[in-house]
Amino acid sequence: MTGTQIKKVAILVADGFEQVELEVPRKTLREAGYSVDLVSPVVGSSVRGYHRSEKGDDFPVDVHLAAARAENYDALLLPGGVNNPDQLRQDSRVLDFVRHFFATGKPVAAICHGPWTLIDAGVVGGRTLTSWPSLRADLGNAGAEWTDEPVVADRGLVTSRGPQDLPAFLKKMLEVFSQGPCRNPAEAAMLTKLAELVTDIKVAMLTTRAADGALHSRPMVTGKRFERTLWFFTRADSDCNREVAEDAEVNVSYSDPSAGRYVSVAGRAKLVRDRKKAAELLTPMVRLWFPKGLDDPELALLRVTVERAEYWEAPAFNRSFLVSLAKSLFTGRPYLGEGTQHKKLTFGPAPSTGEPSTQPSTVPDGEPAAVRVESKPEPEAEPEPPSKRSPPAKQSARPTQTGHKRPTRSAHRHT
């Protein structure tokens, strides 16, 4: 291993993990030169492994989760077993620990039932992965694309179906772990910024497109967190869902004029029936539209996988803003949005081959990297006299595919 490669790996387990899925990967990692810690939320000093349904050996815990710092690790390994992830996914500390690796782009390997914990951490949306077959429906409902392959690698996440796939899993794990963080740091920073901007906005506008090309917008109640996968409550038998079935591309827009905050998110939507997820997301505000709660036969979820996002952060209507407007009025110079910040991000889609993506995503106009900052909007050109104007271009019935020219669409949660 070179100085730039990963040095330290956390293996996160509770009691009931599949023993071979811990022992063999840990031995492989140590032989490859990695420092490996067994991290666990259990109260005792050791955790118990299993050979399928039979009890296995006890393994000493190197670092208790309460004392573990995710930033001290360069990669994460999640063994399977049924009881192990079922305990982990109910612990909020575990979920925060796991989210750190995805937020920073650090590689993660999960085998068998291991991806179960990733579902509750909210990090599988828009990814292609595999697992023990019984997790297929849960992963699909969480926004993942499940595939029946021995090993799948997608943007730093390595997954396998079970112990029978260990040879392929170990080979791909070492390959991906050696590459280090794969996410453009700007993507993680953008998600954090977007979450900050929309956190207090309770209602967003969701725009869909009908079969005749007409755009329809409706208010949606937003959720608790802003992530790559957004969830809205909706009525199963609604125009919105009929339109999504015809054209999955949607847009969700958030605005808070009093604070000068505006966010636009574009992605693909799908109707989902998932009682467990609905129970997790249900709020008193949602019950205004669905008084029967989870027992309402029309209650469903609309899942939006985010592909593009933009935000504008403008000065609030304070003294400085009014002075800028006054200057424009007295000087005749157009107001150029002084102090306004504009950023946009295009998320790369999950590669269909399952191989990790090494190329940066591009914004529609071809700019490299994920984020573009526009601190001052371009002033509009003066209109030409009618005699010199070019004839108007013929417009397609469907909006263009770029983030700006297309009529605004956006994403989060609905009633």
Residues annotated as catalytic are 112-113
Question: In the chain, how long is the greatest CA-to-CA distance?
Answer: 86
* Nearest by Cα to 155 from 184, 182, 136: 182
**Are the C-beta atoms of 285 and 202 separated by less than 8 Å?**
yes
CA end-to-end distance (rounded Å), the chain:
52
* 34 to 74, 164, 276: CA distances (angstroms): 10, 24, 38
Helix/strand/coil percentages in the chain, nearest 5 = 30, 25, 45
Q: Which residues of 11-49 are buried (b: 16+ CB within 10 A; e: fewer)?
A: bbbbbbbbbbbbbbbbebbeebebebbbbbbeeeeebbb
**Are the C-beta atoms of 225 and 122 separated by less than 8 Å?**
yes
In Å, how far from its chain's centre is CA 67?
27
Say how far apart CA 102 and CA 383 lie, in whole Å. Answer: 48
Say how far apart CA 185 and CA 202 lie, in whole Å. Answer: 28
